[in-house]
Structure 1
């Protein structure tokens, strides 16, 4: 634990530099798209932009902790879908027309609990069956989506009532309630990582799981908590999306995991574990939303965004690998 305490100040300083660089990139993007489109910096578009970023940012907060343990969760999009379908099935009532559902406030805790349980299932598969996180969550990606499609019959389900209140709520300056909720979530999670023992254990497990286990750290508890939290934040992202759209589509969460992972890696969290930034992930989610929004306003080919996202992910992973090799070389020297 002494080594971990000595490591934390250096890690925090490095993360501050990374976050500052991302903020500079964000500022440049805002300037470029403002010059290219008169509509970009209008108040309503800016409010829409940050709302677009909020769902990705919410899931990225949970995914950051997973990746910090040297894990991955490919099931967040499918888990989001199944958690919302479950919540509506349990806490909703049939509407006046087919494939419509009225919801009460119970839909929120049911969705979050369902998401957390789906995340814990991932942890159990990894811990008990000794599956790699990649294989385990690749399997549940298909399993969860299949279950959700089975429940809905692959039909779009229109939802009314309380479920729309959060996604469409506005608190101040025309900014939606989910934006403030995600910022509060990010702050609470960052403080948890820095000041709570379990948060510091996440860094230790990601840096060297075997050593952490041999020194008596509760690695099983850490993994269950991390994957459960990732499932909960994925469900929160689903509540934001469904609340805004007012429907659960069969493709809800489709490829959502790749956008979330891109935000996490771009935000400075190492895929090799032991290093990460909550606020870096949130800023990166805003960067990705800015690119998507700006390209849409200037009429760019919609597939260009996927090209950019893929290039950003490859570049971030490549830089992370080179950085890791450099640190290993210095340590060996």
Structure 2
């Protein structure tokens, strides 16, 4: 065999060329583009199916009803990117509402009650963070346990009953408007914007991605992994308390389990938005679009008189499809 033939025989095979569609799907921004496209399709479909869908009041209702979920999903996104997980956030939301209601019933200034609720929410975050980062316990088990603890405390404090909260200035937090835009929606968007700036424009944001992507290697390179995760747990706890305050203000009452039923929606929004449960990858804007998609689905199907059971089925199918597409995109990037 000649030298030229020998070299040709042992030369690596040329890499298979991917199709243009595959190349587009492999881009980092492809997930958000797909989500936006799906959201636009949903808007068009429900607008054609229901004459009440695209009204200003209905769109405002979608934003208002999903705002408190968005607050918790927004803070949960960097936590999961950083390698953590917080299942207790909805229980903290219920506890915060209960604390505000009981403080008001006891004659304590309601705004002082809100501050106390936020401090307790942050304290729960510290508790979760210490157990996870210092004791090295699985965050799923840890936050599942604290979820049960604080849900139970809320039930004990209220006897399982809702507590009324009719204070006009306080209720404005959940039903008021600024420039015709519902205040809860404005608050949610501000939180998303702040978190995006932190994740994309600050060294702490780089620490978050590094901590979730490869915590061992990041620690060796000087990244404060434990401190980063601790801060993320505190932010998650505070966001849960803030969401509980907004929800109580919107309902005019504090129910101990008011937010617990939305825990799956919070996690679904984060995953649907493209955040990896294994950490190191995700975007708060993807989570925001996912929150809007889930809220639009719920609202549109309700307007069409679709049973709540079939709505659960639909949300599950959408979530599975989104995860499947996201995994395909990750493999193409690889």
Instruction: Give TM-score, length-normalised by structure 1.
Output: 0.87
- After TM superposition, the structure 1 = structure 2 runs for residues 4-23 of structure 1, keeping only pairs within 5 Å, are 14-23=27-36
- Report whether the alignment pairs 1:92 with 2:104: yes
- Report whether the alignment pairs 1:158 with 2:164: yes
Cα-Cα RMSD? 1.9
> Unaligned regions of 5+ residues in structure 1, if any?
1-12, 96-101
- Report whether the alignment pairs 1:40 with 2:53: yes
- Who is 1:62 aligned against? 75
- After TM superposition, the structure 1 = structure 2 runs for residues 159-308 of structure 1, keeping only pairs within 5 Å, are 159-161=165-167, 162-173=169-180, 175-308=181-314
Q: CA distance change for structure 1 residues 71 and 323 in 2, over 3 Å: closer, same or farther? A: farther
Contact 2:174 2:183 in 1 (8 A): yes
CA distance in structure 1 between the aligned counterparts of 2:30 and 2:329, rounded to whole angstroms: 15
Q: CA distance change for structure 1 residues 266 and 30 in 2, over 3 Å: closer, same or farther? A: same
- After TM superposition, the structure 1 = structure 2 runs for residues 44-123 of structure 1, keeping only pairs within 5 Å, are 44-89=57-102, 91-94=103-106, 104-123=110-129
Instruction: Give TM-score, length-normalised by structure 2.
Output: 0.86
CA distance in structure 2 between the aligned counterparts of 1:140 and 1:61, rounded to whole angstroms: 20
CA distance in structure 1 between the aligned counterparts of 2:304 and 2:324, rounded to whole angstroms: 30
Secondary structure at 1:121 match in 2 = helix
- Who is 2:136 aligned against? 130
CA distance in structure 1 between the aligned counterparts of 2:34 and 2:320, rounded to whole angstroms: 18
> Unaligned regions of 5+ residues in structure 2, if any?
1-25
Contact 2:31 2:326 in 1 (8 A): no
Contact 1:156 1:249 in 2 (8 A): yes
- Report whether the alignment pairs 1:145 with 2:151: yes
Greater gyration radius: 2
Q: C-alpha deviations, 1:70-106, integer Å up to 9, x for none?
A: 32211111111112223333x42348xxxxxx85222
Corresponding pairs, count: 308
